[in-house]
Amino acid sequence: MLFNSFSFAIFLPIVFILYWALPQRFRWVLLLVSSYYFYMSWNPKYVVLILGTTFISYLCARLLYKTKNQTTKKLLVLGALVICLGTLFFFKYFNFFSESVTQIISLFSIQLSPVTLNVLLPVGISFYTFQTLSYVLDVYRGKVKPEKNFGVYATFISFFPQLVAGPIERTENLLPQITKPKVFDYDTATYGLKLMAWGFFKKLAIADVLGVYVDSAYYSVADCSGYDFVIMILFFTIQIYCDFSGYSDIAIGTAKLLGIDLMKNFDSPYFSSSIKEFWRRWHISLSTWFRDYVYIPLGGSRCSKLRNNINLMITFLVSGLWHGASWTFVIWGGIHGLGQIVEKYTIGKIKRDSRIKKILLTLLVFIFCNITWVFFRAQNLGEAFAVFAGLFSGITNPLSLTGGSVSISTLNALGIAICLPLLCVFDYCSLKFDVILKISALKKPVRWIIYVLFIWIILVFMPKTNASEFVYFQF
């Protein structure tokens, strides 16, 4: 069930009305049933996976809390890691691992056929697996106490607004809110609706529009010119941000309708003046997850410079692999890790004591992101290198950068010209204040004019096709 589908437009109001109509003690039950129905709408068979992962992590945490023996505790954690990550590996990485091993063996003139599985990747498996693992590790560290009620814990893992593509919530933030007494708050609910509207704007009026041109260009790389490559790279940079941050905004806004606060997942990342800052602003829930459960346990920065750099590279390589079972994702993560290491000893030492310096550094980081997103979007390394080859082939002939095959309709060109400046203004202003609250504080006629114009823009410029999936569903 997509957020941008008619079925969700029916599903959410029903859940919302029932949730606030029910007594507090029954609300988590409604959330649990609704969340499992939401997940089963994708593929009913895979509900067994999320239920099994939930039960294993729940049982492990309960046993961890009861035992005092450190060896037993470590074995329990190891068992949870093996089972949960093993399930993730089987569905997401088995084919990649098999094909990679076969390719390596072929270098020694030994020809083998890779063993592959014809299985679909369960939607959201990377997200809820990490959420269960962080819960087990937090209990192991004594950071939180295990939840006694299995149903409440299952609701925490399967909470439908963030189940499929995050934010990857932490135990101490979301779990207590499942059963916490709540009173309906009009301001919180309307704020959630406005945040959802902003998310739909980014998804429908920007990401989906740009995605049409990005897809058409990547499907015919051999026919593209230098101009096409410039456009497709820039458009995907904007598309991936609007698509994923749009999903996060809708998820956070939906949760607010139910009186639940989810963590912020994006914070104007393209206004970052360093790669390190970019990762503090991009997919914050995942970045902090890798920081707390991979980078710091490896030693973090409390070690030698060499070891710190190794820790950084390992974290980003694993982060890249988390995004997808392909060498393109591993390289994408590795480049970002290497970029941070190089940055520490070069532009990282530049003082940002003037507006000009900050603007130039921000532009440099934006260009870096544009280039690295090519590996993220390309289907394979060959396609990624073909894009770069096509991009630079026109250097000696500037005319090749014009008159490409990418054709943008007048309506879409107008939509892009209107929507992208709105996005930039919103993101820039959000660094200083809450834009939604600021608009909500305007006089009623003024803010309603803004609301009506905003909805009109979405309806006019959104693609008139079937609802498209969010990009991060594939992870």
Task: Tell me which residues are annotated as active site.
Answer: 323
In Å, how far are 51, 153, 243, 257, 387 from 15, measured between CA atoms? 21, 19, 25, 10, 46
Q: Give the 3-state DSSP-derived string for the chain, with helices as H, strands as E and coil as C.
A: CCCCCHHHHHHHHHHHHHHHHCCHHHHHHHHHHHHHHHHHCCCHHHHHHHHHHHHHHHHHHHHHHHCCCHHHHHHHHHHHHHHHHHHHHHHHHHHHHHHHHHHHHHCCCCCCCCCCCCCCCCCCHHHHHHHHHHHHHHHHCCCCCCCCCHHHHHHHHHCHHHHCCCCCCCHHHHHHHHHCCCCCCHHHHHHHHHHHHHHHHHHHHHHHHHHHHHHHHHCCHHHCCHHHHHHHHHHHHHHHHHHHHHHHHHHHHHHHHCCCCCCCCCCCHHHCCCHHHHHHHCCHHHHHHHHHHHHHHHCCCCCCHHHHHHHHHHHHHHHHHHHCCCHHHHHHHHHHHHHHHHHHHCHHHCCCCCHHHHHHHHHHHHHHHHHHHHHHHCCCHHHHHHHHHHHHCCCCCHHHHCCCCCCCCHHHHHHHHHHHHHHHHHHHHHCCCCHHHHHHCCCHHHHHHHHHHHHHHHHHHCCCCCCCCCHHHHC
Measured distance CA(360)–CA(261) in Å, rounded? 36
Within 10 angstroms of residue 105's Cβ, the number of other Cβ atoms is 13
Q: What's the length of the chain?
A: 475
Name the residue type at position 431: L
Closest CA to 405 of 238, 232, 239, 235: 232
CA angle 117, 1, 281 (to 5 degrees): 85
